Structure 1
Amino acid sequence: MSVGDQSVSDLLSSVLPKGYTADEFQRPLVTLTFAQSLDGKIAGKGGKQLILSGKESMLMTHWMRSMHDAILVGIGTVLNDDPQLNTRHIPEDDQPYHLPRPVILDTNLRLKRYCKLLKNYRERIGRRPWVICGANSTPDYAERKSALEDSGARVIAVPSEDGGSCLIMIPDLLKVLYNLGIRTLMVEGGATIIGSFLAESARTKPNAIINTLIVTIAPVLIGDDGVGYGEKLSTAQIPTLKHIRTEVMGRDVVVFSALE
C-alpha cells in the first residue's frame, strides 16, 4: 500500500520522532493513536467494540505497530474487544520480522486466562503479554497473579510514588517500561487511557509525554450511545498540538500531529 508517492512505512518514518532519544528523559517515545467517528466516539455503548477504521487505515495501524517495541492498552479494551495486538493485516510476503510486545494496564488483574493474547503466546504465534498492575495486597491478588503467570503472562507491579496501593501514575509506568528495555511505545486506548495520556502531556509540557498523536477519522456518526475520550478533560488538560500532515486513506482521513 502506498500514500501518494510514499509507502506506508516511509510515511510513518517521516512523522515519527527524529533527533530525540528515549534516553534523554528516561522514558519511551510515545505514539498515541486511535480511530474515531466524526462525532468523536471511539467505542459503542458500555465500551463495546466499534470497527471504525477502513482497510487502508487499518493496514497503516498494523505497520505502525511493527515500528514500536510495545503496544499499550487498558484492561477495559481487552475485556471488551479481546484484541490480538499483532501485525496480521500486513500481507504475509511483507510481514516484518519485529512483533511488538503487548502491554496491558490492569490495575486489579482482571485479565482472562483464555484471552487471545495469552492463547496466541501459548500457541507460539504471539509475544508474551506483560500485565501491569498496581502494588496490591488484597487477599486474592497472589492467587490471580499466579493464575495469569501460569497462563503465560508476565505480571509487573508498578509502585506509585504517592504511596497509593493500586493507582498507577503514567510517569511511573513509563519509567518501569523504559527500565525493561522499551524505547518506543504505541498507546492504542481505550478512552480512559487516551484521556489520561493527553492530560499528563498537558501537565508535563514543554516535555509532553506523548511525542506523536495519530488520529484516524472515519466517515460515520455514532450518537449518544458512543463512548468518547475527551468528555472528562478540562481545558487545562488538553495539550497543544502542532499539525504535521493529513492524509486520505481509502474512506478515512488520518491526521498526524506532534505535541508542543
Structure 2
Amino acid sequence: MSGSDQSIADFLSSVLPVPGNSRPADEGLQRPLVTLTFAQSLDGKIAGKGGKQLILSGRESMLMTHWMRTKHDAILVGIGTALNDDPQLNSRHIPEDERPSHLPRPVILDANLRLRPGCKLLKNYQERKGRRPWVICDTNLSLDDVGRKYTLENAGARVIGVPSVDDLLKVLYNFGIKTLMVEGGATVIGSFLGESARAKPNAIIDTLIITIAPTLIGDDGVSYGEGLSAAQVPSLKHIRTEVMGRDVVVVSALE
C-alpha cells in the first residue's frame, strides 16, 4: 500500500464506526451503522442545475471515497443520482494491485422504479464486474410500476418493496447489511438528516463525512438543506478535520 493510501486507511479507521461498538443509545437497534457522505462546494452545493453531476472532489478525496466504499457492506443513492450520474458505486479509483476484493452492494431508492435497465450498475452486474443492485421501491405499485419491476428484474436487479426509511434500515440489516454508506443525492441526504433529528436519541446516522471543495457554484446549484427547518437539523459534534489535496474533509457524529 502506498503512503497516501496508508494515510487514507489510517484516517478512515479513526473515524468510521465498527459493528459491535455502537453508541449506548443504539443498543438493541436492528439497523446498519450508517455513514452519510457527500462532496459540496464552498457555498453548499452538491449538484448543478437540474441535478446535473458536478465533479467536486479532487484526486485525493475521491480516492478516500473509494476506499471508504470498501469499508461498507452497501452503498445507497437516490434515483435522482442514479439517473443524472449513472454511477458505478465501485472502487475503481484504487490502483488494481491494491484494490480490496470486497465490493459493496449497490442500493437505489427508487419509489416508482424509474431506474434504466441499461444503467452501468446493471451492465456491470451482467458482465460480472459488480454486485447485483437492490432497488428499493414503494410497497404499493401501480400497473405501470409492476411492468417496470419485471423489466428491472429481467435485467438483473433485485426489487424490494419497503414502506419507510425506518423499515428500509431494518430490511437491509436483516439481509446482512451491517454497514451502510449513503452518498446522496439532495433528497436522500435531507431525508436522512431530518429523520435523524426526529428520531433522536436513536438517530439513523452514525457518522457524517463531508468533503468541501474550494469552488463556488452559485444560485443554479442544488443544495441539500432546502426544506429542512431548524428542528429538522440534527446536532453535531466535531470528530476530525483533514486536508486531502486541495479539499477539506470534515467528520462529525450526531450528538
Q: Could you state the TM-score of these two structures normalised by the residue count of structure 2?
A: 0.95
Matched with 1:152 is 156
Secondary structure of 2:143's aligned partner = coil
What fraction of aligned residue pairs are identical, expressed as a percent? Answer: 76
Matched with 1:106 is 110
1:23 Cα shift? 7.4
Matched with 2:236 is 241
RMSD across aligned C-alpha pairs, in angstroms?
1.5
Runs of 4+ off more than 2 Å: 21-24
Q: Which digits, 9 at most, give the CA deviation of each residue in 1:34-69, with x for residues without a partner?
A: 000000000000000000000000000000000000
Task: Please point out which of 21, 43, 46 is paired with 1:42.
Answer: 46
Matched with 1:90 is 94
Task: Please point out which of 183, 190, 210 is paired with 1:188.
Answer: 183
Matched with 1:7 is 7
Secondary structure of 2:87's aligned partner = coil
Q: Which digits, 9 at most, give the CA deviation of each residue in 1:195-245, with x for residues without a partner?
A: 000001111111211000000000000000000000211000110111011
Distance 1:111 1:27 in 2: 25
Distance 2:29 2:114 in 1: 31
Q: Could you state the TM-score of these two structures normalised by the residue count of structure 1?
A: 0.93
Residues 74, 180 of structure 2: 8 Å contact kept: yes
Matched with 2:31 is 27
Matched, 1:55 2:59: yes
Matched, 1:72 2:67: no
Give the aligned residue type for 1:152.
G
Structure 1 residues 44 and 146, CA gap change in structure 2 (3 angstroms): same
Matched with 1:165 is none
Matched with 1:123 is 127
Spell out the pairing of 1:216-231 with structure 2 (5 A cutoff): 216-231=211-226
Give the aligned residue type for 2:17.
P
1:6 Cα shift? 5.7
Structure 2: state its 5+ residue gaps. none
Give the aligned residue type for 1:20.
S
Residues 112, 141 of structure 2: 8 Å contact kept: no
Secondary structure of 1:243's aligned partner = strand
Give the aligned residue type for 2:64.
M
Distance 1:44 1:144 in 2: 28
Distance 1:206 1:6 in 2: 34
Distance 2:17 2:237 in 1: 13
Give the aligned residue type for 2:218.
G
Task: Please point out which of 186, 191, 197 is paired with 1:202.
Answer: 197
Matched with 1:214 is 209
